Amino acid sequence: MKSIVYLFIMVVICFSCKEEKTTVHLKGQLKGMTPSEVMRYNGTASMIGDSRDIILHTDENGMFDTVIELKKPEYFSISRNTLYLTPGDDMEVYITESNKEATFKGVGAEANNYMKKRLFPKGGSFLEGGSNVRTDFPTTKLLVDSLAAVRKTELENLKNVSPDFKRMENARIVADVVNSYISYASYGKEYRLDWQAFQKATPEEQKAIQEQLEKMQNAHFATITPELNRMYKDLTDTLLLNVAVVRDVLSYANGDKFGWFEGIVLPERTGELYEAYEKVESLRWEVTPETVGQANDFIARSKNRDIATEVKYKAGQAGKLVEGQPAIDIVIEDVDGNTKQLSDFRGKAIYLDFWATWCGPCIQESPAFEALSKKYEGKDIVFIPVSTDARQSTWLSYLKNHHKDLPQYISHDQALKDEWCIMYIPRFILIDKDFKIVNAYAPRPSEEGITALLDAVLK
């Protein structure tokens, strides 16, 4: 009898000591992407920081095989693909820039094949960039609601996924509906301006048109308030902050003037997340001792370690970009494939233009950048345009059809993101002759303040 009891105890101990899985195995192909593709962390704290991003190194054919350390399930994104990874997943993947072309096989595949149909908040979610807009809002609403019902059925039919995954993805559907209702005021045909007529109108007429449009939008927002208020009540659990579109639609709580959040008290963690976002956003537009100090003050009183960690990471990055700090070196490549270090231009002031062929505002600034370079020709300053295009071939093709007087460069140096914090473009940076930062967020060449700044650095 004692031996049986002993055996039973040993079996229990063996099961209780079973090693917990803490890794994810991914292998396969990333088609049409860079050799060092970023798999971006897309959970709650991604709203404020990117310290959990992972670099996937591929060969010349985009093939890779990697093991990722992961303590708990998390959302990630590769290009337009959203992945849900769980410790223990072991998948073979094929991923392109189009989320609908992806394939997943192996442990964890069911959740990720479901994620292929994930909608995009910036496209108005179920409105899909306006393609699902009908003659009016009631008709469009019927379509949105029916599409949401289909998606819910697909979610309910999943077998090998966790309850938390279903909760979060159900919240994604609800938030996509909320986003669709709100976005109708931008995509609906009755809200579209006749730009040709608007541009021909007098300033007084333009103001009247804008006021009328705002009045119509506000009327729409008031109409959808009861349904939004009901749906928002289902989005308050902090677990749901892992879903990007939930974070998007909850942002309307700040300054709510239509009663969407009436009777709803958001958790303290949610409030802290949005406060952290404001601190980090200020660092993305202006790095000064004051903005860095405000971020550090927030870190000291934060009650959420994951949020504080991301703000600390961003404050640390920003601290390196304060005026007078040493400039961060990067590798740049010219159209002939020759590489240089940014520091090779030390001894002259450096005005950098980070742009891309797909960026409209960047293209608009280009003539002003070149004109400014001619104005300062012969001075101790170099004007360096640096493309951030993912594909070098796209950049070279663009330059063949668009003449540029300045030498052109491209860079995929990881320091652009990790140290210079280039999260948006166009972005302009000014460095002095001693290779120290003058302004990491310098004025655009089309702005009045740039001439005085350049003159000051050349004295």
Residue 16 has a pLDDT of 47
CA separation for the pair 224, 138 (Å, rounded): 11
Residue 7 has a pLDDT of 52
| pLDDT score of 455 more than 50 | yes
Closest CA to 441 of 278, 283, 279, 280: 283
| pLDDT score of 6 more than 80 | no
Residue 109 has a pLDDT of 98
CA separation for the pair 11, 17 (Å, rounded): 10
CA separation for the pair 391, 32 (Å, rounded): 8
Is 199 among the domain residues? yes
Do β-strands 339-341 and 23-30 pair in parallel, antiparallel, or remain unpaired?
unpaired
Same domain, 171 and 255: yes
Same domain, 312 and 397: no
Closest CA to 381 of 442, 422, 339: 442
Same domain, 165 and 252: yes
Domain that holds residue 293: 279-319
Cα–Cα distances in angstroms (integers) from residue 146 to residues 126, 140, 152, 182, 308, in the given order: 10, 10, 10, 17, 40
Is 3 among the domain residues? no
Mean pLDDT within 175-190: 95
Residue 4 has a pLDDT of 54
pLDDT in tens, 361-380: 999 999 999 999 999 999 99
Give 198's pLDDT tier (boundaries 50, 70, 90): confident
> Percent of the chain having pLDDT more than 90?
79
Is 14 among the domain residues? no
Is 424 among the domain residues? yes
Same domain, 128 and 254: yes
Mean pLDDT within 85-104: 95
Out of 14, 17, 362, 421, the active site residue is: 362
> How high is the mean pLDDT of the chain?
92
Is 306 among the domain residues? yes
Out of 14, 17, 359, 421, the active site residue is: 359
Mean pLDDT within 20-32: 93
Same domain, 99 and 134: no
Same domain, 82 and 97: yes
Segment of 180-184, 192-196, 446-450 carrying the highest mean pLDDT:
180-184
Give 15's pLDDT tier (boundaries 50, 70, 90): very low
For residue 326, the 8-state DSSP code is: B
Residue 18 has a pLDDT of 52
Same domain, 110 and 226: no
Q: Which of 98-107, 282-291, 368-377, 418-427 is the least confident region?
A: 282-291
**Is the distance from CB of 252 to CB of 274 less than 8 angstroms?**
no
Is 5 among the domain residues? no
Give 49's pLDDT tier (boundaries 50, 70, 90): confident
Torsion from C-alpha of 418, 116, 26, 245, nearest 10 degrees: 40
Is 399 among the domain residues? yes
Name the domain boundary from 100, 118, 136.
118
Residue 374 has a pLDDT of 95
Mean pLDDT within 222-241: 98
| pLDDT score of 312 more than 50 | yes
Comparing 5 with 22, the larger pLDDT belongs to 22
What is the count of structural domains for the chain?
A: 4
Name the domain boundary from 118, 138, 167.
118
| pLDDT score of 457 more than 90 | yes
Same domain, 407 and 376: yes
Same domain, 253 and 152: yes
Mean pLDDT within 398-406: 93
Same domain, 367 and 429: yes
Same domain, 76 and 143: no
Mean pLDDT within 229-245: 98
Query: How large is the C-alpha radius of gyration of the chain?
Result: 26
pTM (2 decimals)?
0.80
Torsion from C-alpha of 239, 243, 244, 249, nearest 10 degrees: -70
Instruction: Determine how many CB atoms are found less than 10 A away from the CB of residue 400.
Output: 9
pLDDT in tens, 318-346: 889 989 999 999 999 999 999 999 999 99
Residue 327 has a pLDDT of 96
Helix (H, G, I), strand (E, B) or coil at 80: coil
Cα–Cα distances in angstroms (integers) from residue 197 to residues 192, 193, 212, in the given order: 12, 8, 15
Q: What is the DSSP string of 293-307?
A: HHHHHHHHH-S-HHH
Kindly report the CATH number assigned to the domain that includes residue 347. Answer: 3.40.30.10
Same domain, 392 and 427: yes
| pLDDT score of 71 more than 90 | yes
Q: Which of 16-25, 213-222, 265-274 is the least confident region?
A: 16-25
* Token pair belonging to 429: 């940076």
> Percent of the chain having pLDDT more than 70?
96
| pLDDT score of 9 more than 80 | no
Residue 30 phi, psi dihedral angles, 5° rounding: -105, 100
Is 9 among the domain residues? no
Kindly report the CATH number assigned to the domain that includes residue 108. Answer: 2.60.40
Residue 33 has a pLDDT of 86
Annotated catalytic residue 14 = no
